[in-house]
């Protein structure tokens, strides 16, 4: 399948970007940050490096200190257990017992849909239960960078494998990952690499490898590489096959184009010498060495990381002070991702107050983050594996309603929020998705989501009880704002929030008494409902305000 026709990488002509050239900007660079280390800084960091900023995580890292925090966030963890068969009640998979994984089982058309659902639920579960590291945020970044779609690949075993590869290399070597992605059976299937032969070349992967995965295009949208480079790269990549039993790729020398491949001036007129027999597979490394020898790869990837972790607009100062030196670090470390992230996340640029709160939350930063921030409890695997997957799937669906469908981005370019000029992140928010975001948080506060009798919802009373001083309405409101908004709000807004808690009364004691009544008799439903109703209203208001959509 040719994905090209789905791509529109240029902005719609009618769209005129508002002029924000006068907006206050920063010229800070990669000098290590040396400012205060409080909830504000940790929240800023975690909301970008993880999903949300759960109170326990924020408190933990405030205590750990700046240096240790970055180090811990960038420490790789262990590979998770693969997705499981929880769909027996819908289809009795003959090859996979209930509770066992299907990722190595034989292909089964009857199970494809259910396994795909399982894959997406499982991935959602990994984000929900992430360790205190950047790995899941980076796995998502890489899965979106090396974008594939389960709906096209048509076999979730492949999609799982591509996903696991991205997770394995979340903090690994980007060049090695690019090599493995080029050989990944899921990607070979998605971009027709397995159909690319000497006699019937298919340029699909050869093009995306350069345009979307490595060198990119210049600021005017003109490719650095030539059309001939696409054809030559495609020839290098001829001969790969998929082993559908072992879900691996193989190399078929007979299908490989053994001729020399001549590249353009952009690649210094490199000639990749054609090789025959099994050695034909060695040409891939020649190709990647040539591509990664250009200066554009590091710049392209660093810009994309910047757009994911900092902000989408890269002004001249950010290009000079952040992107260029980061790219230099990337190349001098032979494309290891970790030093780049380490430098960026430790930088004064990253923590600059002018760079806080400017990221529009991606849908998963609403759905997954809400569950983590408010400690939403899912059914435990030990006693209710089916319920756990069902509710993970519910959460997956909610993000999908906000246009972030993990496993099925719109096309090979991934989500437009990370490439589409000039709107970028603003593409997450429109008159359909914004109400869906509000409906999601409203629902989580009220009835939650239910599947086969299992339910997830925000227990806002229990959450409030974890805060430092919930009995004092002023301190309570301040802490909630500190933890859930990117910036402080005016006294007017705080007064308004207090008005909700006090039900229009003027004395703080009314809230304090109500809270103390509840704490003194937590099983008294009347007391519980009094605080529940007011907290629900206040948090609904907080989450419905536009401020909540920014991190």
Partner 1 sequence: MKRRRFISALSAATVVPAVLDGFSLKTFAASPLLQALAAATDNDHVLVLIQLSGGNDGLNTVIPLDQYSQLSTARNNILIPSSQVLTLSGSPLTGLHPSMTGLQQLYNNGKVNIVQGVSYPSPNFSHFRATDIWLTASDSAQTLTTGWAGRYLDYEYPNYPAGYPNSTMPDPLALEIGSVVSLGLQGPAVSMGMSITDPTNFYNLINGIQDPAPNTNYGRELTYVREVSQQSQAYASVIIAAANAITSQSPSYPTAGTNSLADQLKIVARLVAGGLKTKIYMVSLGGFDTHSNQVDFANQATGNHADLLSKLSQAVSAFQDDLNYLNVSGRVVGMTFSEFGRRIISNGSYGTDHGAGAPMLFFGDAVQSGILGANPTIPANANVNDNIAMQYDFRSVYSSVLNEWFCVPTTDLSQIMLQNFQLLPIIQTTACDVGVHELNQKAGESLVWNYPNPFTASTYVTFKSTGGHVLLQVFSTEGKLIKTLADGEYPAGTYDAWYENEGHAAGTYYLRLQNEALQQVKNMIVVR
Q: Does 471 bind partner 1 (CB under 8 A)?
A: no
> What single string gives the DSSP state of each residue in 77-116?
-PPPPPPB---TTT---TTS-TTSB-TTSPP-TTTHHHHH
Alpha-carbon gap, residue 380 to 389, rounded angstroms: 10
Alpha helices in 413-549 (DSSP H): 433-445, 460-465, 473-484, 491-502, 509-520, 525-544
Q: Identify residues 271-330 at the interface with partner 1 (CB under 8 A).
A: 311, 313
426 secondary structure, DSSP code: G
227 secondary structure, DSSP code: H
Q: Does 427 bind partner 1 (CB under 8 A)?
A: no
Q: Does 20 bind partner 1 (CB under 8 A)?
A: yes
**b/e map of 370-409 (b: 16 or more CB within 10 Å)?**
bbbbbebebbebeebbbbbbbbbbbbbbbbbbbbbbbbbb
Smallest separation (angstroms) from partner 1 to the CB of 177: 31
Segment contacting partner 1 (CB under 8 A): 61-69, 99-107, 142-150, 488-496?
488-496
Smallest separation (angstroms) from partner 1 to the CB of 363: 14
At 201, is the secondary structure helix, strand, or coil? Answer: coil
Smallest separation (angstroms) from partner 1 to the CB of 540: 8
**321 with 29: CB under 8 angstroms?**
yes
Judged by CB under 8 A, the residue of 90, 260, 320, 432 near partner 1 is: 432
Nearer to partner 1, 247 or 530 (CB): 530
**b/e map of 55-74 (b: 16 or more CB within 10 Å)?**
bebbeebbebebeebbeebb
Alpha-carbon gap, residue 124 to 141, rounded angstroms: 14
What is the number of other CB atoms lying within 10 angstroms of the CB of residue 221?
A: 11
Smallest separation (angstroms) from partner 1 to the CB of 482: 15
**544 with 442: CB under 8 angstroms?**
yes
Nearer to partner 1, 344 or 386 (CB): 344
CA distances from 430 to 61, 405, 480 (A): 34, 16, 27
Segment contacting partner 1 (CB under 8 A): 74-82, 285-293, 365-373, 486-494?
486-494
Q: Does 43 bind partner 1 (CB under 8 A)?
A: no
Nearer to partner 1, 60 or 496 (CB): 496
Judged by CB under 8 A, the residue of 164, 338, 467, 493 near partner 1 is: 493
Length of the chain: 551
Alpha-carbon gap, residue 204 to 2, rounded angstroms: 7
Smallest separation (angstroms) from partner 1 to the CB of 313: 7
Phi, psi of 448 (to 5 degrees): 70, -165
Segment contacting partner 1 (CB under 8 A): 127-135, 257-265, 389-397, 540-548?
540-548
Short-list 225, 227, 279, CA closest to 253: 279
Q: Does 472 bind partner 1 (CB under 8 A)?
A: no
Smallest separation (angstroms) from partner 1 to the CB of 520: 14
Judged by CB under 8 A, the residue of 25, 179, 457, 483 near partner 1 is: 25
Judged by CB under 8 A, the residue of 69, 170, 534, 539 near partner 1 is: 534
Nearer to partner 1, 21 or 78 (CB): 21
Q: Identify residues 337-396 at the interface with partner 1 (CB under 8 A).
A: 354-360
Segment contacting partner 1 (CB under 8 A): 46-54, 166-174, 414-422, 526-534?
526-534
Alpha-carbon gap, residue 24 to 542, rounded angstroms: 26
Q: Does 38 bind partner 1 (CB under 8 A)?
A: no
Segment contacting partner 1 (CB under 8 A): 72-80, 162-170, 470-478, 543-551?
543-551
**372 with 132: CB under 8 angstroms?**
no
93 secondary structure, DSSP code: -
Judged by CB under 8 A, the residue of 138, 429, 477, 480 near partner 1 is: 429
> What single string gives the DSSP state of each residue in 349-397?
HHH-GGGSS-SBPPTHHHHHHHHHHTTPPPPPHHHHHHHHHHHHHHHHH
**480 with 537: CB under 8 angstroms?**
no
Segment contacting partner 1 (CB under 8 A): 63-71, 202-210, 256-264, 439-447?
439-447
Alpha-carbon gap, residue 540 to 531, rounded angstroms: 14
Q: Does 545 bind partner 1 (CB under 8 A)?
A: yes
Nearer to partner 1, 339 or 357 (CB): 357
Judged by CB under 8 A, the residue of 9, 293, 446, 462 near partner 1 is: 446
Nearer to partner 1, 269 or 526 (CB): 526
Q: Would you give the distance in Å from CA 445 to the centre of its chain?
A: 24
Output the six-digit token pair for 401.
Answer: 């309603």
Alpha-carbon gap, residue 533 to 461, rounded angstroms: 9
Segment contacting partner 1 (CB under 8 A): 262-270, 278-286, 387-395, 435-443?
435-443
At 500, is the secondary structure helix, strand, or coil? Answer: helix
- Please tell me the count of residues contacting partner 1 according to CB under 8 A: 56
Judged by CB under 8 A, the residue of 258, 421, 510, 516 near partner 1 is: 510
Smallest separation (angstroms) from partner 1 to the CB of 54: 22
Nearer to partner 1, 141 or 515 (CB): 515
Segment contacting partner 1 (CB under 8 A): 15-23, 274-282, 383-391, 451-459?
15-23
Q: Does 476 bind partner 1 (CB under 8 A)?
A: no
Judged by CB under 8 A, the residue of 496, 508, 512, 516 near partner 1 is: 496
Q: Residue numbers of the site for partner 1 (CB under 8 A)?
A: 18, 20, 22-25, 311, 313, 354-360, 425-426, 429-432, 434-435, 439, 442, 446-447, 486-487, 489-490, 492-493, 496, 500, 503-507, 510, 514, 525-526, 529-530, 533-534, 537, 540-541, 545-547, 549-550
């Amino acid at each position: 399948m040719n994905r090209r026709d789905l791509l529109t990488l240029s902005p719609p002509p009618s769209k005129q970007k508002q002029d924000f050239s006068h907006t206050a900007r920063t010229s800070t660079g990669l000098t290590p940050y040396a400012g205060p280390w409080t909830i504000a800084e940790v929240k800023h960091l975690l909301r970008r490096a993880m999903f949300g900023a759960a109170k326990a995580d924020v408190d933990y890292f405030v205590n750990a200190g700046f240096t240790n925090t970055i180090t811990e966030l960038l420490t790789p963890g262990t590979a998770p257990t693969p997705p499981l068969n929880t769909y027996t009640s819908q289809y009795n998979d003959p090859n996979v017992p209930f509770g066992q994984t299907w990722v190595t089982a034989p292909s089964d058309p009857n199970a494809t849909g259910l396994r795909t659902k399982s894959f997406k639920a499982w991935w959602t579960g990994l984000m929900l239960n992430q360790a205190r590291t950047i790995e899941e945020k980076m796995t998502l970044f890489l899965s979106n960078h090396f974008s594939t779609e389960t709906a096209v690949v048509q076999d979730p075993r492949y999609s799982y494998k591509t996903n696991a590869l991205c997770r394995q290399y979340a903090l690994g070597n980007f060049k090695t990952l690019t090599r493995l992605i080029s050989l990944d059976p899921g990607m070979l299937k998605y971009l027709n690499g397995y159909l690319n032969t000497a006699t019937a070349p298919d340029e699909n992967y050869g093009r995306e490898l350069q345009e979307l995965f490595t060198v990119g295009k210049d600021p005017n949208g003109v490719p650095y590489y030539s059309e001939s480079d696409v054809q030559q790269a495609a020839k290098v990549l001829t001969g790969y096959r998929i082993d559908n039993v072992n879900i691996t790729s193989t190399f078929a020398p007979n299908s490989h184009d053994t001729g020399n491949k001549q590249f353009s001036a952009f690649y210094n007129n490199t000639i990749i010498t054609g090789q025959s027999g099994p050695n034909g597979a060695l040409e891939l490394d020649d190709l990647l060495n040539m591509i990664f020898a250009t200066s554009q790869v590091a710049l392209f990837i660093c810009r994309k990381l910047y757009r994911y972790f900092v902000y989408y607009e890269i002004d001249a100062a950010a290009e000079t002070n952040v992107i260029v030196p980061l790219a230099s670090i990337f190349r001098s470390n032979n494309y290891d991702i970790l030093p780049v992230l380490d430098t960026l996340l430790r930088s004064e640029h990253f923590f600059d107050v002018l760079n806080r709160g400017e990221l529009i939350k991606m849908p998963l930063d609403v759905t997954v983050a809400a569950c983590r921030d408010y400690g939403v409890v899912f059914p435990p695997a030990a006693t209710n594996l089916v319920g756990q997957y069902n509710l993970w799937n519910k959460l997956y669906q909610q993000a999908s309603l906000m246009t972030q469908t993990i496993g099925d981005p719109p096309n090979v370019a991934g989500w437009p929020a990370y490439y589409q000029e000039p709107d970028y992140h603003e593409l997450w928010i429109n008159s359909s998705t914004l109400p869906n975001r509000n409906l999601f948080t409203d629902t989580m506060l009220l009835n939650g989501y239910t599947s086969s009798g299992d339910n997830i919802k925000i227990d806002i009373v229990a959450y409030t009880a974890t805060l430092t001083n919930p009995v004092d309405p002023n301190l309570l409101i301040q802490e909630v704002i500190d933890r859930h908004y990117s910036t402080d709000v005016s006294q007017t807004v705080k007064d308004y929030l207090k008005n909700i808690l006090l039900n229009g009364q003027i004395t703080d004691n009314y809230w304090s008494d109500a809270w103390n009544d509840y704490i003194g008799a937590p099983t008294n439903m009347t007391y519980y409902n009094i605080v529940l109703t007011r907290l629900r209203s206040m948090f609904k208001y907080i989450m419905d305000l536009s401020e909540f959509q920014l991190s």
